[in-house]
Amino acid sequence: MPGDQLSVRVLDLPFTDPRKIDQVVGYELEGQIVHALEDVVFDSTVVRQGAEGSTVLAVAAKRDDIAALIAANEAQGTHPRALYAAPVVYRTLLPARAAAASDKDEPVELPCQVILDIGHLRTNVCIVRAGQTLYARTIRRGGLQLTQAIAQAFKADHDRAEQAKRGEAYLVSAERPASSPLTAKLDAVLREALAPLVREIRQTLASFRASSKERIEAVLITGGTGRLKGLPAFLEGELGVPARFLAVRSSAEMRPHVAGRDDEPNTPVIEADESSPYALATKAASVSASIDGNPTRNRRVAL
């Protein structure tokens, strides 16, 4: 399910008993979403437990939206066994635990990282630590707004603006200054068009830090628009967090950092734009056929 059709909420509960959590999630969720509980289906997962209770990540989707998505798939001859919450599944792209250097070494605690999938219509933000999604959301901005801004600034048609975004355009930095008046203007246009998205991301990270007290170690960039040249350095400056491309491999492991493409020095290569579908495939391969969950709640959105 696309993130803009989901309600994602973090619930703090004063107990850790799984049965109690399962019983109250719906009631707690109902007070935080605009739709009545009977009009949605939902699923949840415990992301943190301690002496004070549990933190639960819950996702709800309208039944009508789910029915429409299933019908659209069935019209194409596919029959979904489960639907996954798009902004949540990126956790499968990162390791759940760090390998110790030897059997005698203590396991290394994995850092909290943000996967930023910047697509054409939307941007998914997934905050992950130790293979667990701690928070996720979808922002309804992406590469389309950049293309539209270039088209307007240069009085170009959509196709030419898209070509410029993918080709001539890059975000200027000290390491790669503007090479011409054209690239300087493209840089200014892109920065202005990116400002609303950056603001939303910054607010998301600030809210997460305030509520969780977690320290974010890195922003990992993927998605088609994530290929925009100069984007890691730009986001690092704007967010105050180290940023780099997310390398996706068939083994779902990050490969060592190597020189990147598009003249991006010392930046890992993006090995796939299909990070979200790949995460879904990895997730689906790791769970049983009973992923639909508790039938008494008719859950069809899986975490």
pLDDT at 202: 97
pLDDT tens-place string over residues 116-151:
999 999 999 999 998 899 999 999 999 999 999 999
pLDDT at 77: 94
143 in Cβ contact with 273 (< 8 Å): no
What is the rounded distance in angstroms from the CA atom of residue 121 to the CA atom of residue 124? 10
The pair of structure tokens assigned to 149 is 């801004």
Comparing 224 with 95, which gets the higher pLDDT? 224
Comparing 251 with 21, which gets the higher pLDDT? 21
What is the rounded distance in angstroms from the CA atom of residue 145 to the CA atom of residue 137? 19
pLDDT tens-place string over residues 243-267:
999 976 544 344 444 334 444 444 4
User: In the predicted model, what is the mean pLDDT of the chain?
Assistant: 84
Model confidence band, residue 99 (pLDDT cutoffs 50, 70, 90): low
What is the rounded distance in angstroms from the CA atom of residue 268 to the CA atom of residue 273? 14
pTM score: 0.81
Comparing 248 with 77, which gets the higher pLDDT? 77
- Other residues' Cβ atoms within 10 Å of the Cβ of residue 17: 11
pLDDT tens-place string over residues 174-217:
999 999 999 999 999 999 999 999 999 999 999 999 988 899 99
pLDDT at 281: 54
pLDDT at 247: 76
| 3 state SS of 116 | strand
98 in Cβ contact with 115 (< 8 Å): no
For the chain, first and last CA: distance in Å? 11
pLDDT at 97: 73
What is the rounded distance in angstroms from the CA atom of residue 227 to the CA atom of residue 118? 9
Model confidence band, residue 96 (pLDDT cutoffs 50, 70, 90): confident
pLDDT at 277: 59
> In this structure, are strands 243-245 and 216-222 parallel, antiparallel, or unpaired?
parallel
Strand partners, 216: 112
Comparing 56 with 101, which gets the higher pLDDT? 56
pLDDT tens-place string over residues 161-172:
999 999 999 999
Average pLDDT, stretch 25-40? 92
152 in Cβ contact with 210 (< 8 Å): no
| 3 state SS of 220 | strand
Comparing 103 with 38, which gets the higher pLDDT? 38
23 in Cβ contact with 56 (< 8 Å): no
pLDDT at 275: 61
What is the rounded distance in angstroms from the CA atom of residue 89 to the CA atom of residue 92? 6
pLDDT tops 50 at residue 220: yes
Give the residue carrying structure tokens 């355009």. 169
Report helix angle 181-212 to 143-154, nearest 10: 150
Give percent of the chain with pLDDT exceeding 90.
67
Average pLDDT, stretch 83-90? 90
CA 24 to chain centre: 27
Q: What domains can you pick out in the chain, each with its CATH number?
A: 3-302 (3.30.420.40)
> What is the chain's Cα-based Rg?
21
What is the rounded distance in angstroms from the CA atom of residue 300 to the CA atom of residue 293? 8
DSSP classification of residue 285: H
pLDDT at 205: 97
Average pLDDT, stretch 77-98? 86
